[in-house]
Amino acid sequence: MDSDSPVSFSLSQRVVHWVTALLVSFNLLFSDGMEQWNRAMRRTGSATADQIASANIHAYVGIAILILVALRLVLRFKSGVPVAPPEEPAIFRLGAKLAHALLYLLLIAMPFTGIGAYYFGNGAAGGLHADVLKVLLWIVIVAHVFGALVHQFYWKTDVLRRMTVG
Ligand code: HEM
Ligand code: HEM
């Protein structure tokens, strides 16, 4: 065990985690505006002012996520993260590490492929964004939330606490 590691996530790390979770959920659940813009552009080569406005919301929220992830990596580097609780079996500890790494990667890859599609008209990036990465992100988030619930109710660890009240 690393004796220098903190017992909880710092306040800034916690705030950034939950703001990110909110913004990611928003873009995953309410992407219709961006999809409508995309369909209009493909069919007619132009979009109405309303379609552009709602597509921009998706784009700006996605760019905000990218900035928050960068900030988060800096905070992680500066403050470190608490060690996994001893109640958690080694294989799940590895699973959690992998899930966190994948979440970071996907939260970087999603905005970049989105930017490629939206601002540079790259269809391949759009396909990756909307068909492949989106599905992967959903899977990892469901596993992540399931993991948090298993911690709370089955292993009864303090993991959820250190990402909430600290
Ligand atoms: C929807 C989007 C979400 C994303 C993208 C996300 C992302 C992440 C990432 C990347 C970490 C790793 C932090 C680090 O070690 O630097 C983390 C930690 C954590 N998340 Fe989430 N999260 C989301 C939602 C949730 C929800 C809904 C819950 C609770 C039910 C939750 C509970 C936790 C907990 C407890 C930790 C700390 C794990 C530990 O102590 O090792 N997350 N999250
Ligand atoms: C983590 C951040 C993001 C998430 C979670 C996200 C999520 C989504 C989702 C769920 C869709 C609908 C896919 C479908 O079922 O058809 C979508 C489509 C799209 N998003 Fe994002 N997005 C993010 C960031 C961005 C950014 C930053 C941009 C642009 C600046 C962007 C541009 C687009 C475009 C152009 C489409 C339509 C792509 C196509 O269908 O070919 N996204 N996004």
d(CA 4, CA 17) in angstroms, rounded, equals 22
Cα dist from 146 to 20, 96, 122, whole Å: 18, 11, 35
If you measure from the C-alpha of residue 141 to the centroid of ligand 2, how many angstroms do you get, rounded to a whole number? 16
Per-residue pLDDT reduced to its tens digit, 152-164? 999 999 999 999 9
Three-state DSSP class for 29? helix
Tell which phi-psi region holds residue 9, choosing left (phi > 0), alpha (psi between -120 and 50) or beta.
beta
Of 151, 154, 155, the C-alpha closest to 164 is: 151
Ligand 1 pocket, residue 25 CB under 6 Å: yes
Ligand 2 pocket, residue 111 CB under 6 Å: yes
pLDDT at residue 47, rounded to an integer: 96
Per-residue pLDDT reduced to its tens digit, 52-61? 999 999 999 9
| Cβ contacts of 69 within 8 Å, gap of 6 or more | 20, 104, 107, 108
Q: Could you give the angle at which helices 134-150 and 90-120 cross, rounded to 10 degrees? A: 150
pLDDT at residue 5, rounded to an integer: 78
Residues in the chain, overall count: 166
Q: Whose CA is nearest to atom 6 of ligand 2?
A: 27
pLDDT at residue 166, rounded to an integer: 85
pTM more than 0.85: yes
Binned average pLDDT, 10 residues per bin, the chain of 166 residues: 74 97 98 97 95 98 98 94 91 95 98 98 97 98 97 94 93
